[in-house]
Structure 1
Amino acid sequence: MAEQVLKVAIISFTDKGSDIAITLQNEFYRSKVFTTRAVEETKDIKRIDSVKELIEASFHKYDAWLFIGALGICVRSIANVIQDKKTDPAVVNIDDQGKFAQSVLSGHVGKANELTAQISRILQATPVVSTSSDLQDLWNLDMLAEQYGWTQKCNTELNTIISSFVNRKPIALVLKVKDKGTEFLEKTCPDFITIYYSLDNVVRDKYEALVYVGYELIELDLPTLAFYPKCIALGSGCSKDIEPELFEKMLREELQKQKVAIESVMAIGSADIKAEEQAYLNIVTKLDIPLITYNGDELNSIDVANPSEVVKKKVGVYGVSEASAALIASESEWLVEKTKVNTDSGKKFTYAISLVTDFARKPSIAIVGAGSGDPDFLTLKGQQLLEEADCILYAGSLVPEELTHMAKEGALVRNSASMTLEEQIEIVDSYYEQGKKIVRLHSGDPSIYGAIQEQMTIFDAKGYDYFIVPGISSFQAAAAYLKSEFTIPEVAQTIILTRGEGNTPTPEHENIADMAKLRATMCIFLSAGIAKKVQGELLEHYPPETPLAVLYRVSWKDEEVWTGKLTELTQIIKDNKLTRTVLIVVGEAVGARKNRSWLYDDNWHHIFRKKAKLVK
C-alpha cells in the first residue's frame, strides 16, 4: 500500500514566519500557505483576512495544520472546531523563529507527534511533545492496529486501558501468534508488562488490564484490548445456492462457538466450482478478504484428516474445507477439523480452520556442532542457525566465543559451562514456550563425546522438536593438520574413535588393548591424564615405532602438535604438561605417503571412467 501523502495547510502571521512557511511548503508536496501578511498570491499561497473564517470553513478538509506564530493564537483559532481525536486533523505550532515545534492536537491518530519530529528535523528545531506514552517512550496503543494491519477490539473504553498503561500499572500481554508487530512488542516490552504466550497461563487477578494479539475471542471481566492480525485460513464447502444471509449468520455463530474472531480470517477457500457462489462472494466482500478456490489436483494434494467418499464421488476430491484451509495456510494441521453445519433451510455447509504458518509460534531446538575450533570450520547451516537464533547456549571453553558474535541483536547468549543440566533446560523451556529458535552449540561434532543424549532424553519426554547439525570433529582437523589420510589401501582401512578408561568406565568389550589388535588408525580422546596406561595397552599390539601425533586444541589459535613414535607418548604428555583438550592419533597412516590408491589407477574402471576402447 502506498504511503499517504498528507494534505497540509500552513498559516503564518509574520514576515519571518512566512519564510519558514515557504521552507515547509517545499517539504510537503500537497500543501498550501495562508498568511495575513501582504504577499504575491499563487495557487498555493493565499492571503487571508480572517484565520477564524478559514478554520471554520476548512479545518476538516486538511490532514494537518501547521501554525507559525504564538501558541495562544493557534489554540484560540482551533478551539471551537475540535470534535474528537478520530476525525480531527493534526495540529502543530512552530514559533516564528523556528526554534520549537510543538504537537498541539491529534498526536497519535492524526500523526501530529510524527509531524512534529519531522518538522524539527527540517528546521533543526526542538520538538515538544506532551503525550505521556511518547514522553515515557511507551507504545502508542491506539496506533498499533494501523501500524501493523491488525483489527482492534476493546471490551471497555480504550482510554481506560491507555490510562493504566501510561500510569505503568501491571498489564498482561498475551502473544498467541507472531508477526513483525509481536516481535516489536517483545523487544520493547516495558517492565510493568508481563508477556504470556497463552491465555490459560495468565493469573488474571494480578493485572489491571490485558492486551492480546492473536485469533481467539476474549471473554473476560478484565479490561481487554485485543488485536487481530489476519492469520486464519477458513476452508469451506457448501450446498449449491445456499442462502447468503443464512450462511453468514450461521458461520459467525460457528466461529463464536470455536472462540475464533472473524476479524482474524485472512481468506476463505473452496473448490473452483464454488468461485461464483453468492454466499461466499457476499461474505468476503463484507470482510474485505479474498475468496481463493482450488482445482481437484490441488485439493487432493492435501492428506485431509476426514476424507469423504461421498464428496469424492460428487466433486472428485476427498475434502474441500480441510484441503482449502491447509492450502491457504501452507499448513497441514487444523485448529478446527471439518465441521458440518445444517442450516435452518435444510442446506448444508462445512468449514475447517487453520492458522497461517507464518503466524504460528513453532519453536525449534538445533543441536549444532561448532567444529574443531577454527570458526571458519563452522558449517554454513550452523552459521545460518546461529544468525537466526533467539537463544544460544554454548559449551564454554570448548567452543570459540567469537562464534557467538554471529547472534542477532536481542538474542540471549549464555555460557553453559557453569550451569547444571536442569538450569540449561529451564532456559530452553522458557524460549520453547515462546515459540523461539534455540541453538545448543557443542564442540566438534555433537555425536562424538557431545553429551547430548541426556538432553535429547528430556526433549523427547517433553515432546520438543529438535534436530542435529553435524560439525567437523577434532580427529578430522587433526588429519588436515597432519596432511594425512587416515584410511590408506593395504595399510589402514579402519578408523577407531575411542577414549581410555579413566574415572569414567568404558564398556567391557571396548578396552584399548583389544581394539589395538586391529592396528587401525586410532584416535583417542579425553585420555591425556592416563597416557602411561594408554601407551602400555597400545604397545601390546602396535609396533614401538608406530607413528604418533599428539594434538593440543587442534585448529584453535593456540594449537600445538607433537609427532613421534608410540614409545614417546607418555614423555610428550609429561614434558608439555598436557592435561586436557588433547587428541592422540596412532597408526601407520599418520604422515604416510608411499601407497597409491587404486581409485585413480589406469587399470581401475567405474561408471565415471569407462575402460578405453582400443582403436586399430
Structure 2
Amino acid sequence: MKTAIILISKSGFTVAEIINHEIADSTIYSTAEIDNCCKINNIAEFVSSEFHHFDAFVFIGAMGICVRSIAPCLEDKHTDPAVINVDSTGQSVVSVLSGHVGGANELTQHIANILGAKAVVTTQSDNAGKWALDTLGSKYNWATTQKGDTMNHLIATFVNEDPVALLLHIKDAGTQYMERTCPPNVHIFYHLDDIVQADYKMLIAVTPCILNVNIPLLHYHPRVLHLGVGCRKNCLPDGIETYILQELERQELSSLSIASVATIELKKDEALLNALQQTFSASTLHIYNAEELKEIEVPHPSEKVFEVTGVYGVAESTALKSADNGPLLIEKHKGLLTQGNDFTFALAMDRKVVRSGHIEIVGAGPGDPELVSVRGRRMLQEADLILYAGSLVPRELTLCAKEGATVRSSASMTLEEQFAIMKTFYDKGLFVVRLHTGDPCIYGAIQEQMAFFDKYGMSYHITPGISSFQAAAAALQSQFTIPEKVQTIILTRGEGRTPMPEKEKLHLLARSQSTMCIYLSAGVVDQVEKELLEHYHPTTPVAACYRLTWKEERIYRGELKDLARIVKENNLTLTTMIVVGDAIGNRKGLSHLYSSKFTHLFRRSEEDKKEKTSKSEE
C-alpha cells in the first residue's frame, strides 16, 4: 500500500514516525518544517490533488481536519482510498473511509497493533465477527456476482442473522476459512439438491457452476477451470470465443471461473489464443512443449494429431497439464464454424480444489498439547479421522477433535490395518489426520505410508512439528551452537536392532565434537557411551531428557563418563533424548552479532528512512 501519513500538528510526530517505520512505502507529509517529513503548503489542497495517487491516507491529529480534507474528494467506495485517523497521542485508531473494499479496517487494526492502541471500526460485519461479503471474493481470487438482490441487501440479510445456505463445490483456502468460521445462521451444503431453498433467505455459493435458484444468490466464482485449445494452422478466431462460451453455458459452467488458456508450443502464435485471452481476461496463458505433455494420458487419443504435434491430443493434454491432472469436465470438443478453421477445446478443473479425500501428516510436537503448530491444531479440529501414534503422542492432543470425528490410536495396529482405515475414510472423500510425534521427518516412519499414498494416487501433505531436540534445548536453557566452537547439531541414534550405515557409526560422528542429540537409544546406552568416549572428553556435559514437555518430564544432567549409569539408575526408556556436548548450559559464547563490528546493522534503518525522504522531495 502506498500510504500518505498526514501530520496535522507537531505533537503527533512521534506517532507518525513509528507508523512510518513500520508501514512499507509510506511517507510523512507536514505543513511544518520537520526533519524526515515532506513539506506541503496546505493539507486540504494536497489531499485534493493526491487523493487517487495513494492507496491510503493516515491522518495524525484531529478528526475534524481529516473529515473536512477528504469530504470534497469522495466518489465511490470501490475507488476511494482507505482513510484512517489517529489521535496525536496514539491511543485511538479510527477507520474513516473504505473500510472493506479499500482495506481501511485491516490497516486500522494493523496500525493499532503497532501503537498498542484501540482500533475503532464501525462496520457492522467486522464488529459482529462476520465475513466481509463484499471483499471476500477478492481476498481469495474469486469473481463475485449477485442475483435477485443488491449486494447491500445480501450483506444485511447475512449480518441480521437470517437463515443462509452456504454451498461449497470446491475446497481451497477460502472455503476452509468459511467452514472454520461459519456463523450459526449459516448452514453448509456440498450439493445443491440437498438445499431446501424455501428454508433460507439467501444462498452463498462458491462454485464454478452456473446456478439456477429461486432465492437471492451471492455467487463466488473460483478461478479453477483450465481451458485447453487446439486448432488448424492459421485458424480464424471469428465466432470461436462465442461458441466456447455457449458450450460452457450449456454445460452450466461459469466463464468467470476460467483460470488459464493453454495450448502446445506449435500453436503459440495463433490468433485464436489472443482472442481467447481477451474473452477470458482474468486468465493466464500456458504454452507447453510436446516433451512436457507426452506422459499425459488423454481419453480421446488421435494418431493424426500425434504425427503433427508429438502428442495424442492437444486440447485435453494441455487442459489436464494446467489442472495438475484434475478431472476433465469437458472432454475433447470439436468445432468447425467455417471451412478450414477446425478447432478443439477441453476443460479441466484444478486437482487441488476437488472435494475429495485428503490425508494430512501432522507433527504433534514433543508432547505438550500447546506445542502443536497453529496449522496442526486446525487440522486436528477439521479432521474426520485422527489416527495417532498412541504410545508416543498424548491423547490430550486429540481432545480438540470436532463432534462426530473418529479418533483412533495406531499403537496396536499393524501397518496394513493403518492403511486400511485411512483408505476407508479417504475413499469416502473425508479428511484424515495421521498424527506423529515430534516432526514427522525425524524417525517419523512416514516413508512407507507415503509410498502407499503414492501407489493409490492419494492426496496428502505434511505439516511439520517441533522436534524433541528443540524441546531439549528449551528445557536445558541452552543454545546448541556456540560461536567459534560449536556450529553443528547432529541428530542421530545408537545402533540397536536396526543397523546404522557404516559411515554414520556413532564414534565416527563423534569426531566433530558437535552438539549431538541421540534418539531412541536408552536401551543401548552402554554402547552409546563407549563410542562417544572415543572422541569426547569424559567430563563433557550430557543430559538424559525423559518425555520432554509431558507431565512426566524428567531431566538428568551429568558428565559423559556417567551417562550409562544415569540412564539405568533412573529407569529411562525409549522416550528419552540423550544430549551430549559443551553447548549444554554454556554461557561463555558471545555472538559477534552484538559486537561493535556490527553497529552498521542498527544504523541501516535510519539511512533507509533518510533516503526515502530524499526521494519523496525529489
Instruction: Using structure 1 for the length normalisation, give the TM-score.
Output: 0.59
For residues 197 and 123 of structure 2, what CA distance do their matches in structure 1 show?
29
**Contact 1:102/1:129 (<8 A) preserved:** yes
Pick which of 234-243 and 290-299 moved more.
290-299
* 60, 68, 81: which one aligns with 1:76: 68
- Amino acid of the structure 2 residue aligned with 1:218: L
Q: What displacement does 1:434 show?
A: 8.8
* 355, 364, 367: which one aligns with 1:361: 355
Q: What displacement does 1:313 show?
A: 5.0
Matched, 1:145 2:141: no
- Amino acid of the structure 2 residue aligned with 1:27: E
Matched, 1:16 2:26: no
Matched, 1:244 2:242: no
SS of the counterpart of 2:73? coil
For residues 89 and 410 of structure 1, what CA distance do their matches in structure 2 show?
43
Matched, 1:28 2:23: yes
Matched, 1:102 2:97: no
Cα separation, partners in 2 of 1:321 and 1:25, compared to 1, 3 Å: closer
Give the structure 2 partner of residue 198 of structure 1. 191
Q: What displacement does 1:204 show?
A: 1.6
Cα separation, partners in 2 of 1:43 and 1:293, compared to 1, 3 Å: same
Cα separation, partners in 2 of 1:60 and 1:279, compared to 1, 3 Å: same
Cα separation, partners in 2 of 1:335 and 1:407, compared to 1, 3 Å: farther
User: After superposition, what is the alpha-carbon deviation per residue over 1:46-84, rounded to whole angstroms, capped at 9, x for unaligned?
Assistant: 253x44333333322222222233323322332222111
For residues 466 and 319 of structure 1, what CA distance do their matches in structure 2 show?
26
- Amino acid of the structure 2 residue aligned with 1:130: T
Task: State the identity as a percent.
Answer: 34
**Contact 1:113/1:129 (<8 A) preserved:** yes
* 39, 43, 46: which one aligns with 1:54: 46
User: After superposition, what is the alpha-carbon deviation per residue over 1:81-128, rounded to whole angstroms, capped at 9, x for unaligned?
Assistant: 211111111111122232211111111111111221122223222111
Give the structure 2 partner of residue 321 of structure 1. 315
**Contact 1:281/1:291 (<8 A) preserved:** no
Cα separation, partners in 2 of 1:73 and 1:339, compared to 1, 3 Å: same
Q: What displacement does 1:192 show?
A: 0.9
Cα separation, partners in 2 of 1:86 and 1:430, compared to 1, 3 Å: farther
For residues 428 and 88 of structure 2, what CA distance do their matches in structure 1 show?
52
Cα separation, partners in 2 of 1:70 and 1:410, compared to 1, 3 Å: farther
- Amino acid of the structure 1 residue aligned with 2:349: L
**Contact 1:361/1:434 (<8 A) preserved:** no
Q: What displacement does 1:41 show?
A: 5.1
Give the structure 2 partner of residue 125 of structure 1. 117
Q: What displacement does 1:177 show?
A: 1.0
Give the structure 2 partner of residue 584 of structure 1. none
Please provide the CA RMSD for this pair: 4.2
Cα separation, partners in 2 of 1:332 and 1:297, compared to 1, 3 Å: farther
Give the structure 1 partner of residue 107 of structure 2. 115
Structure number with greater CO (CA < 8 Å, separation at least 6) is: 2
Cα separation, partners in 2 of 1:87 and 1:69, compared to 1, 3 Å: same
Matched, 1:258 2:254: no
- Amino acid of the structure 2 residue aligned with 1:80: P
Cα separation, partners in 2 of 1:333 and 1:31, compared to 1, 3 Å: closer
**Contact 2:197/2:214 (<8 A) preserved:** no
Instruction: Using structure 2 for the length normalisation, give the TM-score.
Output: 0.59
| 1:555-574 equivalences in 2 (<5 Å) | none
- Amino acid of the structure 2 residue aligned with 1:261: S
Give the structure 1 partner of residue 177 of structure 2. 184
**Contact 1:18/1:35 (<8 A) preserved:** no
Cα separation, partners in 2 of 1:411 and 1:328, compared to 1, 3 Å: farther
SS of the counterpart of 1:281? helix
* 156, 159, 166: which one aligns with 2:152: 159
Count of residue correspondences:
417
Give the structure 2 partner of residue 436 of structure 1. 430
- Amino acid of the structure 2 residue aligned with 1:68: I
**Contact 1:284/1:291 (<8 A) preserved:** yes
For residues 391 and 382 of structure 2, what CA distance do their matches in structure 1 show?
17
SS of the counterpart of 1:80? helix
**Contact 1:330/1:356 (<8 A) preserved:** yes
**Contact 1:6/1:28 (<8 A) preserved:** no
* 54, 59, 64: which one aligns with 1:67: 59
Give the structure 2 partner of residue 311 of structure 1. 305
User: After superposition, what is the alpha-carbon deviation per residue over 1:281-314, rounded to whole angstroms, capped at 9, x for unaligned?
Assistant: 3323552433334444554433322233443455
| 1:316-465 equivalences in 2 (<5 Å) | 316-331=310-325, 333-344=327-338, 347-363=341-357, 390-392=383-385, 402=393, 413-414=405-406, 435-438=429-432
Gaps of 5+ in 2: 361-375, 410-421, 436-457, 461-495, 498-618
**Contact 1:103/1:130 (<8 A) preserved:** yes
**Contact 1:9/1:33 (<8 A) preserved:** yes
For residues 90 and 203 of structure 2, what CA distance do their matches in structure 1 show?
42
SS of the counterpart of 2:134? coil
Q: What displacement does 1:29 show?
A: 4.3
For residues 10 and 134 of structure 2, what CA distance do their matches in structure 1 show?
38
Q: What displacement does 1:183 show?
A: 1.2
SS of the counterpart of 2:72? coil
For residues 113 and 182 of structure 1, what CA distance do their matches in structure 2 show?
22
Structure number with larger C-alpha Rg = 1
Cα separation, partners in 2 of 1:345 and 1:302, compared to 1, 3 Å: same
